[in-house]
């Protein structure tokens, strides 16, 4: 083990000098950036990610200015209000959930949600920001929503077919629609009357417009086409197959295309449109080495969202740059025991020691130690918290199955021989119950590694100790057991099915005080799947009572029992942390304070709830009040940062490069005030 730092601090401290200061951790999307839009009113580039976050960037500096966690589902489209600090996002799993949401990104407040039956063909604001407008493949192909209330406005309710793109006039009284059937139509919004209809090129996609709205740019699959919006005529074209996106420089009217070249290589090409002709400008742009998912032109520069999660910026005839990379260290698991928090990565185990974790009163905490312990598995590693500052560490998923014990002053590998990767490890008295990928449940002596009992039930996903001689297994329903729960007697080997409506159970928790078993499982059929937290009485082996139901499959949800109170805490539903008191009455549910992260793995110690979030950050709450206490970040350079609600922060050496401070509503970065540990 090597100690990287030993630092002193008060974990509850004064605010920064200004009450309006915002601290923003500089890290990009955790996964692909799906879409991009330019907010001309505020000078920001917004990206929407597969991680469900929206991020606002200063395009001149590449610094992150705003973060908004709008969903756990991918953000597929984004539009910015021309007059307000608002964005409209289209969120979808591309299976059964399709919805539009409007957010105020400054106050981080959701204004409204509007459900759809399919993905929109386009999404935009009207020029004064009064309407959110989108197109669908239905008889009434254009839909108007009030941008503040979400009220469906009664325009064009009679319907006139599919609309692939639309432009609202500056007065917001007229609209131009392009129909893929090959029509450009001009309509009165108030009356719905058709003013003019022009035949034009059919089946255009990747549509954009010149700033004066005289021309429409698009592709029919084989060519780049420029269409006059006054006559419908194709005034210029050039062969260019495989176009995915187009954008127009608002200053020069030059056109950028992102397409696949003859050998399948992605290409960026720049085209000049003048005198009703298209001219390709050779060597002006270079495509990035990562796939582009969307693009915009702003202030003479092209910005593209990338499948890597970053943003590519390129000015014609200049070298392109990339910004917005993910800077957080990927963390596999977290555990809390005594005064120690342990994080696992494929390369190192990170150990944070502080009285903050072991005391119920954070004001008595005045130190934090940070150490690294090399990961001998060199693989994803799970953590099971034991008592007295001890942990069981296990090679996750990949064979061979390996377990090590840590704490508080030693590290040792348990001499076991499991050919398959380990799925779960849980305490069983003084023993460890290990579950491997083949469904084999083994009781292991942690000192000798000897297997004292084993039982195999294929499809087993979770284990929990229910008494001195009983395990409960959560598994996939199927022969020979027509249930997803199984009670295993570790003395006799006898197995008893526990009634369950679940098709599969993937997490279990047992309350020894109330003899209550909690199960997280999936129920339903086909497109009607739901994830259900159920309560079972182990003494009577009764069927489960649903306590919390979420649409769809949330297989990353977890739960944990507080041994002091018997309260259950869960992350089911992507809505943060919820507490359910014994008995599980809905009126007793407590929703913890929301943050800009999606909690997944739960750990409990004394007065604190710690979660490992989907983006590898960590969050801490007061378990009694549900109040958020701090967010914790570990970066790829092994530095770390803790931020409190007061905007006070603590940082190790090397972490300040990942932090920016902003004053009030300004988006101009200010110097970060160094309220570090010991200040």
CATH of the domain at 275: 2.40.10
Closest CA to 531 of 511, 548, 514: 548
Q: Is there a domain that residue 327 lies in?
A: no
Q: Is there a domain that residue 559 lies in?
A: no
What pLDDT is attached to residue 38? 97
What pLDDT is attached to residue 18? 47
Closest CA to 92 of 101, 84, 83, 79: 101
pTM of the model: 0.91
Residues 6+ away with beta carbon under 8 Å from 551:
97, 530
Closest CA to 331 of 610, 649, 614: 614
What are the Cα distances from residue 600, in Å, to 560, 612, 614, 615?
11, 6, 6, 10
Residues 6+ away with beta carbon under 8 Å from 71:
52, 89, 91, 101, 574
Closest CA to 215 of 228, 204, 203, 225: 228
Residues 6+ away with beta carbon under 8 Å from 297:
38, 247, 248, 249, 250, 256, 303
pLDDT in tens, 96-123: 899 999 999 999 999 999 999 999 999 9
Among 309, 336, 367, the domain-final residue is 309
Instruction: Say how many domains are in the chain.
Output: 2
What pLDDT is attached to residue 95? 87
Q: Is there a domain that residue 326 lies in?
A: no
Among 274, 309, 344, the domain-final residue is 309
| Pair 673, 648: CB distance under 8 Å | no
| Interatomic CA distance for residues 331 and 342, integer angstroms | 10
Q: Which residues of 371-389 are buried (b: 16+ CB within 10 A; e: fewer)?
A: bbbebebebbbbbbbbeeb
What are the backbone dihedrals phi and psi of residue 355, each rounded to the nearest 5 degrees, phi first?
Answer: -65, -15
Q: Estimate to the nearest angstrom the gap between the alpha carbon of 662 and the chain centroid.
A: 24
| Interatomic CA distance for residues 219 and 259, integer angstroms | 11
Closest CA to 395 of 412, 376, 410: 376
Beta-bridge partner residues of 425: 434
404: left (phi over 0), alpha (psi -120 to 50) or beta: beta
Q: Is there a domain that residue 400 lies in?
A: no
What pLDDT is attached to residue 366? 53
What pLDDT is attached to residue 547? 92
| Pair 116, 100: CB distance under 8 Å | yes
The vertex-280 CA angle with 279 and 281, nearest 5°, equals 110
Q: Is there a domain that residue 621 lies in?
A: no
The vertex-614 CA angle with 78 and 337, nearest 5°, equals 155
Q: Is there a domain that residue 64 lies in?
A: no
Among 275, 309, 343, the domain-final residue is 309
Low-confidence residues of the chain, pLDDT below 70? 1-20, 359-366, 479, 583-588, 665-679
What are the Cα distances from residue 536, in Å, to 476, 572, 582?
17, 18, 12
Looking at residue 500, the DSSP 8-state letter turns out to be -
What pLDDT is attached to residue 676? 39
pLDDT in tens, 184-231: 999 999 888 999 999 999 999 999 999 999 999 999 999 999 999 999
| Interatomic CA distance for residues 88 and 148, integer angstroms | 11
Q: Is there a domain that residue 170 lies in?
A: no
- 586 burial (CB, 10 Å; 0-12 / 13-18 / 19+) is exposed
User: For residue 10, what are the domain limits?
Assistant: 1-27+635-679
Q: Is there a domain that residue 370 lies in?
A: no
| Pair 639, 654: CB distance under 8 Å | yes
What are the backbone dihedrals phi and psi of residue 51, each rounded to the nearest 5 degrees, phi first?
Answer: -80, 5
| Interatomic CA distance for residues 242 and 267, integer angstroms | 10
């Amino acid at each position: 083990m090597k100690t990287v730092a030993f630092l002193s601090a008060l974990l509850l401290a004064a605010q920064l000098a200004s009450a309006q200061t915002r601290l923003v951790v500089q890290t990009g999307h955790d996964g692909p950036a799906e879409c991009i839009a330019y907010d001309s009113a505020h000078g920001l580039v917004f990206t929407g990610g597969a991680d469900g976050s929206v991020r606002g960037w200063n395009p001149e500096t590449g610094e992150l200015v705003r973060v908004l966690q709008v969903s756990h589902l991918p953000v597929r489209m984004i539009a910015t209000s021309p007059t307000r600090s608002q964005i409209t996002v289209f969120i979808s799993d591309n299976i059964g959930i399709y919805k539009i949401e409007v957010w105020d990104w400054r106050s981080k407040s959701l204004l409204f949600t509007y459900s759809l039956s399919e993905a929109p063909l386009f999404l935009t604001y009207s020029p004064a920001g009064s309407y959110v407008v989108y197109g669908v493949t239905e008889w009434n192909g254009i839909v108007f929503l009030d941008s503040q209330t979400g009220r469906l406005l009664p325009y064009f309710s009679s319907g006139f077919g599919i609309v692939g793109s639309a432009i609202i006039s500056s007065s917001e009284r007229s609209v131009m629609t392009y129909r893929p059937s090959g029509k450009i139509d001009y309509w009165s919004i108030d009356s719905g009357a058709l003013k003019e209809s022009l035949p034009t090129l059919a089946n255009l996609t990747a549509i954009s417009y010149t700033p004066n709205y005289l021309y429409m740019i698009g592709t029919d699959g084989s060519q780049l086409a420029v269409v006059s919006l006054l006559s419908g005529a194709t005034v210029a074209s050039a062969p260019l197959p495989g176009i995915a996106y187009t954008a127009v420089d608002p200053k020069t009217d030059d056109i950028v295309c992102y397409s696949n070249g003859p050998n399948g290589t992605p290409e960026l090409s720049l085209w000049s449109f003048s005198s009703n002709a298209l001219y390709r400008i050779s060597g002006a742009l270079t495509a990035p080495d990562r796939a582009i998912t969307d693009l915009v032109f702003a202030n003479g520069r092209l910005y593209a969202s990338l499948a890597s999660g970053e943003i590519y910026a390129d000015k014609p005839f200049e070298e392109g740059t990339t910004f917005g990379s993910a800077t957080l260290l990927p963390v596999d698991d977290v555990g809390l025991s005594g005064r120690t928090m342990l994080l696992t990565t494929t390369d190192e185990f990170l150990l944070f020691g502080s009285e903050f974790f072991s005391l119920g009163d954070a004001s008595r905490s005045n130190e934090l130690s940070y150490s690294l312990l090399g990961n001998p598995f060199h693989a994803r590693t799970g953590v099971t918290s034991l008592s007295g500052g001890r942990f069981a560490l296990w090679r996750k998923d990949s064979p061979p199955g390996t377990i090590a014990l840590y704490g508080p002053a030693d590290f040792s590998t348990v001499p076991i021989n499991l050919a398959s990767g380990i799925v779960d490890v849980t305490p069983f008295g003084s023993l460890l119950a290990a579950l491997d990928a083949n469904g084999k449940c083994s009781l292991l002596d942690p000192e000798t590694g000897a297997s004292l009992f084993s039982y195999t039930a294929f499809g087993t996903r979770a284990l929990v100790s229910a008494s001195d001689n009983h395990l409960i297994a959560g598994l996939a329903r199927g022969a020979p057991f027509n249930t997803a729960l199984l009670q295993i007697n570790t003395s006799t080997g006898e197995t008893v099915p526990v009634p369950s409506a679940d098709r599969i159970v993937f997490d279990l928790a047992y309350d020894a005080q109330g003899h209550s078993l909690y199960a997280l499982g999936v129920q339903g059929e086909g497109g009607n799947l739901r994830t259900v937290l159920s309560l079972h009485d182990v003494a009577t082996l009764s069927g489960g009572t649903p306590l919390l139901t979420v649409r769809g499959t949330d297989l990353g949800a977890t739960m944990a029992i507080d041994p002091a109170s018997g309260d259950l805490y869960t992350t089911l539903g992507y809505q943060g942390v919820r507490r359910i008191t014994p008995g599980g009455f809905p009126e007793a549910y407590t929703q913890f304070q929301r943050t800009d992260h999606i909690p997944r793995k739960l750990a409990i110690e004394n007065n604190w709830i710690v979660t490992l979030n989907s983006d590898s950050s960590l969050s801490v709450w007061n378990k009694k009040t549900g109040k958020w206490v701090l967010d914790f970040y570990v970066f790829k350079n092994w530095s770390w940062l803790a931020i409190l609600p007061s905007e006070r922060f603590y940082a190790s050496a090397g972490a300040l490069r990942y932090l920016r401070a902003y004053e009030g509503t300004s988006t101009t970065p200010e110097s970060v005030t160094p309220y570090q540990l010991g200040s």
